[in-house]
Amino acid sequence: MTTNSSPQLWLYDTTLRDGTQREGLSVSIEDKLRIAKRLDQLGIPFIEGGWPGANPKDVQFFWQLQEDPLKHSEVVAFCSTRRPNTTAAEEPMLQAILAAGTRWVTIFGKSWDLHVTAGLKTTLEENLAMIRDTIEYLRSQGRRVIYDAEHWFDGYKHNPSYALQTLEAAMASGAEWLVLCDTNGGTLPHEVSQIVETVISHLSLVISQETMTNDKGQRTIPQIGIHTHNDSEMAVANALAAVMAGAKMVQGTINGYGERCGNANLCSLIPNLQLKLGYSCITEDQLTQLTEASRFVSEVVNLAPDEHAPFVGRSAFAHKGGIHVSAVERNPLTYEHIQPEQVGNRRRIVISEQSGLSNVLAKARSFGIELDQLKAEAKQILQRIKDLESEGFQFEAAEASFALLMHEALGKRPKFFEVKGFQVHCDLIEGKEASNALATIKVAVDGKNILEAAEGNGPVAALDAALRKALVNFYPQIATFDLTDYKVRILNGHTGTAAKTRVLVESGNGHQRWTTVGVSTNILEASYQAVVEGLEYGLLLHSQAEVAVKASS
């Protein structure tokens, strides 16, 4: 828990620039604006929006934020130093930076002499001039500057004297932050600690010598920041090491998105810094939004959330072993390093063939069902789970199916409808990539039989459409249900096409999501089981909500 006396640490998010360099990740202008506004709500002080001038999308992004600015965060434009053998005032890309209209600009420059001579094909002295000229020009135009020292750690290890000269050039030109970048992601935490301490000590010495020589009064040292990549699985550890060595700014991305292996994951860094090290990063209320923000960004960029991500993953506080569940029920500290609610997550009790009775009792409570461990129902549910999982069912990933199983064992499972039978016909037309499917289904509702047919671009889509068509007149809320994900797994592949198949179907109603499971040697039968239970559970949620509304009124 942070207090008013907690030391301040500045967060800098680069999801919208560095994060979008991840392979397979692409965002629109609208996507970038939605993410920026969500990060603004989360309380991130600096949000790097992109490189205006590098592409039209980033130019429009900054223009739109000028029309509708963020409420709390500083949006930052990103660019490199000027090119060799020119001047900053004549550099077209710096004009695009100024046109972006941001108070803060992040400029990156070369720290590694190898990049200067082999990459830029210029001299070491010209590179220092590029750093000085670019920062001085931006300062003359009223901009505040963050200097990202690209490849800092590799540069320092190969030529420490020159790497330090690049920082001195940025400092003398008016940069307010000097950010040390582990661009290749190959540095280890003990190296980061030593080098950051060396940098802070060296710059302090430079300042003190200038003061003694020039007698101009004490100049302040620019604050030190850290920017790490995850190529050695050390990005978060390296960022923490830098902070403990004196860095005051941490750069990273939501969910660790970034080029190659990604950037430092802010969803892990923020709680570690705030809850474990006692730094003040965001408010406690904002910290409780972290899990939701992580999932929001993953939805916007259309990447599946990492269910096992620390702090914010769905499995981060999931307990499966019976001994673990029993202990957590008595005292959560036994198997949880923080309270999940602190980061907006929640505890989950996972049901599987490894479950004990404590799992079943705890899981039932999460669905609002109180079971008596001394009565037969609880033991029957546990045995039923073990029997079904031996057949290939998986309830740890299909909690809605487990809830229906519990209701059935207690004799409380509503019978909204009954499927009397179905047929699916597929046409594969030679020369066409897609196949058409037609499903016919017979359903009984309140003793009335309904026969409906529907087409789809595959057998499962056709079956789902036919079932919804048959039921929507009786249950209009079905129109709000969506099938959001469909997963198929072959359980015993050695049997070839006769293999048993497990199907997981995720459904949603715009507010909640739930997953159901079906297992069969017939993939259509397995799909049918999961689809039917998905609709059934959605109707159960709706009926429970109606009861709650009536009770409150």
Q: What is the per-residue pLDDT across 139-198, written as a single tens digit (0 to 9) for each?
A: 999 999 999 999 999 999 999 999 999 999 999 999 999 999 999 999 999 999 999 999
What's residue 113's pLDDT?
96
Rounded CA separation 26/22 (Å): 8
Confidence of residue 2 (pLDDT cuts 50, 70, 90): very low
Whether 256 and 385 share a structural domain: no
Those residues whose C-beta lies under 8 Å from the C-beta of residue 282, and which sit 6 or more positions away, are 11, 42, 43, 44, 270, 274
8 Å CB contact between 453 and 439: yes
Rounded CA separation 385/393 (Å): 8
Q: Is residue 93 part of a domain?
A: yes
Rounded CA separation 291/311 (Å): 8
Whether 262 and 153 share a structural domain: yes
What's residue 322's pLDDT?
64
Share of the chain above pLDDT 90, in %: 62
Average pLDDT estimate for 300-326: 83
Confidence of residue 1 (pLDDT cuts 50, 70, 90): very low
Angle at which helices 56-67 and 92-99 pack, to 10 degrees?
30
Rounded CA separation 41/169 (Å): 36
Top-confidence residue, 517 or 366: 517
Whether 361 and 425 share a structural domain: no
Tally of domains in the chain: 3
Q: Is residue 400 part of a domain?
A: no
DSSP secondary structure code for residue 332 in this structure: G
Burial code of 73-102, b = ≥16 C-beta within 10 A, e = fewer?
bbbbbbbbbbbeeeebeebebbebbbebeb
Confidence of residue 491 (pLDDT cuts 50, 70, 90): confident
Confidence of residue 61 (pLDDT cuts 50, 70, 90): very high
Average pLDDT estimate for 446-464: 91
Average pLDDT estimate for 275-293: 95
Top-confidence residue, 324 or 408: 408
Top-confidence residue, 53 or 262: 262
Which two tokens mark 98? 């100024």
Whether 53 and 161 share a structural domain: yes
> By residue range, what is the domain housing residue 474?
418-552
Q: Is residue 152 part of a domain?
A: yes
Mean pLDDT of the chain: 89
Phi-psi region of 446 (alpha: psi -120 to 50; beta: other; left: phi over 0): left
What's residue 370's pLDDT?
78
Q: For residue range 194-244, what is the model confidence (pLDDT) as tens digits?
A: 999 999 999 999 988 876 555 555 566 789 999 999 999 999 999 999 999
Whether 272 and 346 share a structural domain: no
Q: Is the pLDDT of residue 449 over 70?
A: yes
Q: Is residue 530 part of a domain?
A: yes
User: Phi, psi at residue 406, to the nearest 5°?
Assistant: -65, -45
Whether 341 and 436 share a structural domain: no
Q: Residue 142 maps to which CATH number? A: 3.20.20.70
Please give the helix or strand (H or E) that residue 419 lies within, else none.
strand 418-427
8 Å CB contact between 152 and 199: no
Whether 366 and 486 share a structural domain: no
Q: Is residue 39 part of a domain?
A: yes
What's residue 211's pLDDT?
63
Whether 335 and 375 share a structural domain: yes
What's residue 431's pLDDT?
60
Q: Is residue 399 part of a domain?
A: no
DSSP lists the bridge partners of residue 504 as 487, 517
Q: Is the pLDDT of residue 293 over 70?
A: yes
Q: What is the DSSP string of 504-545?
A: EEEEE-SS-EEEEEEEESSHHHHHHHHHHHHHHHHHHHHHHH
Q: Residue 443 maps to which CATH number? A: 3.30.160.270
Q: For residue range 64-86, what is the model confidence (pLDDT) as tens digits?
A: 999 999 999 999 999 999 999 99
Phi-psi region of 166 (alpha: psi -120 to 50; beta: other; left: phi over 0): alpha
Average pLDDT estimate for 472-495: 83
Rounded CA separation 496/486 (Å): 22
Average pLDDT estimate for 29-35: 91
Which two tokens mark 315? 């499995």
Whether 469 and 500 share a structural domain: yes
Whether 229 and 150 share a structural domain: yes
Q: Is residue 4 part of a domain?
A: no
Q: Is residue 412 part of a domain?
A: no
Beta-sheet strand order (sheet of 482-490): 482-490, 501-508, 513-520
Q: Is the pLDDT of residue 497 over 60?
A: no
Q: For residue range 505-545, what is the model confidence (pLDDT) as tens digits?
A: 889 888 788 889 899 988 899 999 999 999 999 999 999 88
Rounded CA separation 152/179 (Å): 9
Rounded CA separation 346/401 (Å): 20
Top-confidence residue, 237 or 410: 237
What's residue 354's pLDDT?
56
Rounded CA separation 446/494 (Å): 44
Confidence of residue 356 (pLDDT cuts 50, 70, 90): low
Q: Which long-range contacts (CB under 8 A, 24 or more apart) does 376-385 make?
A: 377/409, 377/410, 380/409, 381/405, 381/406, 381/409, 382/355, 382/356, 382/357, 384/409, 385/351, 385/352, 385/353, 385/355, 385/360
Rounded CA separation 379/354 (Å): 14
Rounded CA separation 527/456 (Å): 14
DSSP lists the bridge partners of residue 516 as 505
Predicted TM-score (pTM) of the model is 0.71
Top-confidence residue, 30 or 372: 30
Q: Is the pLDDT of residue 268 over 50?
A: yes
Rounded CA separation 353/165 (Å): 62
